[in-house]
Amino acid sequence: MELGFYASSEQLDREAAQRIIDLIHNKPGAILGLATGSTPLGVYEHLISACRQQRVSFRQAVSFNLDEYVGLPSGHSESYRSYMNKMLFRHVDFDAANTHLPDGNAPDLEQECARYDLMIKEAGYPDLQILGLGHNGHIGFNEPDQTLSSRTHVVRLSEQTRHANARFFPSLDEVPTQAITMGVGTILKSKRLLLIVKGSDKADIVHRALTGPITTELPASLLQTHPELTVMMDEDAAVHFNRNYQR
């Protein structure tokens, strides 16, 4: 596990974006695992400026997002497809056909999960998967539970997650109750994972996830089992870590 501590969120974003740019330079057709939420927004902004300045091109790159809400009408401003188009894809030179998210409106959701998982497998799994962290330790939308489905599956969102995400919707009632998410098994198949954690409200959960027992009750703790895990934290999120901490 590589831990990176950053004095500012801006510094963290720049470094995370640079890792992605370096990957694309080495492998223009790299597969990127992408995430939504507020955490990766700064990283996407850096990627957009790098692309505008012709320091990187995504023309040959492929992306798979972690998750998507179930049942939001197509084109809904808060679907993760809309988020990705708005925050990254439409500002860079990705081929739209190479950007993938689960279809939360598929008539048969189980079949859609199997299709998405197979597509990721056939592509060879992401070279780099970006991850944010939910306040309850979720990754993607893998919520704490006694058991977790390993592959892409439909989840019922916890009330805590619905409340956390209500800030993006006109009211709590409009936050979907279900989502499709890559399973932790699928996530762990990525060649490298980059977990980004910001803010004092995530300080306890990130510390428990990385230093506590590995348990499905804290899905992010399963990331400890990945041999190529990088965690980037801003100062506020890293308060419980000894900065010389190494595993």
Q: CA-CA distance, 168 to 171, in Å (whole number)?
A: 9
Torsion of CA 118, 113, 172, 74, to 10 degrees: 80
Residue 130, SS3 per DSSP: strand
Q: How far is the CB of 131 from ligand GLP (least distance, A)?
A: 6
C-alpha torsion angle, residues 57, 31, 162, 231 (rounded to 10) = -90
Catalytic annotation, pick one of 78, 136, 145, 207? 136
Catalytic hit among 100, 138, 153, 226: 138
Contact 229, 2 (CB under 8 A): yes
Please, which residue, 35 or 188, has the CB nearer to ligand GLP? 35
Strands 67-69 and 178-181: antiparallel
Per CB under 6 A, 183 contacts ligand GLP: no
Instruction: Report the site for ligand GLP in 106-165 (rule: CB under 6 A).
Output: 132-134, 140-141, 161, 165
Q: Closest distance between ligand GLP and the C-beta of residue 179, in Å?
A: 7
Residue nearest to ligand GLP (CB): 132
The two structure tokens encoding residue 124: 């060879």
Span 27-46, contacts to ligand GLP by CB under 6 A: 35-39
Residue 173 annotated as catalytic: no
Q: 13, 46, 65, 67: which is the annotated catalytic residue?
A: 67
Catalytic-residue membership of 67? yes
Told to judge if 26 belongs to the known catalytic residues of this protein, a careful annotator would answer no
Task: Just list the catalytic residues.
Answer: 67, 136, 138, 143
